[in-house]
Amino acid sequence: IKGVDLYFKNKNNWQYLNTGRPEGIKNESSLIDNMSIEMREFKIFLLLYDGISNIEVGIDSKSIIEKPIRNGNKPIIFYGTSITQGGCASRPGMAHTNIISRKLNIDCINFGFSGNGRMEQSIAKLISDLDPLFYVIECMPNMINAENITNKTIPLVNTIRDKNPETPIILVENFISEPSVLDKKGKEWIEKMNRALKNEYEKMIENGYNNLFYVNSKNATGNDHEATVDGVHFTDLGFLRYADFLIDRFDEFKLINKN
C-alpha cells in the first residue's frame, strides 16, 4: 500500500510492469528500461496510505511524453472505509477501485478513509460537487451501530441528490467477517446493521427515489474464506474477487456494459 505502480496498455488491456518502492522521504526508481522504440500509454497508481507532495517522470532524452486522449467517460466515485482505501493490498494497483478502473477503462475516484468513512455530511457535500457516472457507498464496516445507519443513510443520499438528482447511487451492505462465522454475537451485529441499511433503502424506494441500488454482499469475495488478511481486510485475491463482483453488479444494474 506504499510505493507507486506502473502499468502500460497492451492490446487495449492494462498490464502491470513494476513498483517503485519507497526507502525514505525522497525516492527515485527506474521502473522500466531497454524497451523497443514505439509510442505507449502508461498509467501510474499512487500510494494508497501515504501522500505525496511532488512526482516527476523521467524519460530518455530522445523520447517524448504526451497527454493521452481522454475517453470521455465520467468517473465512478467510491466513498468508504479502510477497505475502500486499499487496506490491505500488497501494492497500489491491487485496490479494488484501481482494478475496476483498469478493467472498465473508467477513472475511479477513491474517498476511502481508514478508521472513518461513516457517512459524514462533510464528505457527502464534497462528493456532491463532482459529476460522476455513479456513486458507490461502502461505509458499512465503520458505521458502529444500526442507529447511526438509520440516522445517516437518507441524509447522505439527500445531500448527494441535492446537486445530482439523477445520478445513480449504490449502497453496499457490510460483509460477514470471517470470525462471525462462529461468533454469534458478531454475526448478529453485522446482520442488524445490514437490516438497518436495507430498511433505509426500502424507505427511499417507497418514497419515489430513483436510480438507487442495493448490493447484498454475500459471496462478494468468494465462498472459500481465503480472501482476507485478518478476517476483515482484503488480500489481493479478495480485492480481485470483490472488483469482479462489483462489476457484475454494475452490469446487472445497467450502469455499465462490461462487454
- How many domains does the chain fold into? 1
Q: Is residue 105, in this structure, part of any structural domain at all? A: yes
Q: Is residue 42, in this structure, part of any structural domain at all? A: no
Contact between 94 and 16 under an 8 Å Cβ cutoff? The reply is no
Structure confidence at residue 24 (pLDDT): 87
Within 86-120, where are the H helices?
96-104
Structure confidence at residue 240 (pLDDT): 99
Structure confidence at residue 71 (pLDDT): 86
Residues 6+ apart with CB under 8 A from 61: none
Look up the pTM and report it: 0.96
Contact between 212 and 157 under an 8 Å Cβ cutoff? The reply is yes
Structure confidence at residue 259 (pLDDT): 72
In whole angstroms, give the CA distance from residue 92 to residue 44: 9
Query: Residue 218's domain spans which residues?
Result: 76-252
Structure confidence at residue 235 (pLDDT): 98
In whole angstroms, give the CA distance from residue 77 to residue 169: 10
Contact between 143 and 118 under an 8 Å Cβ cutoff? The reply is yes
Distance of CA 255 to the CA centre of its chain: 16
Measured at the CA of 198, the angle between CA 194 and CA 200, to 5 degrees, comes to: 120
Q: Is residue 49, in this structure, part of any structural domain at all? A: no
Count the Cβ atoms, other than its own, within 10 Å of residue 6: 18
Which pairing describes strands 76-80 and 42-45: parallel, antiparallel, or unpaired?
unpaired
Contact between 86 and 92 under an 8 Å Cβ cutoff? The reply is yes
CATH number at 162 reads 3.40.50.1110
Sheet hosting strand 13-20, strand order edge to edge: 13-20, 4-10, 42-45
Q: Is residue 125, in this structure, part of any structural domain at all? A: yes
Q: DSSP assignment, residue 47?
A: P
Q: Is residue 51, in this structure, part of any structural domain at all? A: no
Within 45-183, where are the H helices?
82-85, 96-104, 121-128, 146-163
Structure confidence at residue 229 (pLDDT): 97
Structure confidence at residue 76 (pLDDT): 99
Give mean pLDDT in consecutive 10-residue pieces for the chain, a chain of 259 residues.
Answer: 92 96 90 94 95 91 90 96 97 98 97 97 98 99 98 99 98 96 96 99 98 98 97 98 98 92
Q: Is residue 227, in this structure, part of any structural domain at all? A: yes
Q: Is residue 189, in this structure, part of any structural domain at all? A: yes
Structure confidence at residue 54 (pLDDT): 93
Count the Cβ atoms, other than its own, within 10 Å of residue 27: 14
Cell of 222: 468468494
Structure confidence at residue 243 (pLDDT): 99
Q: Is residue 166, in this structure, part of any structural domain at all? A: yes
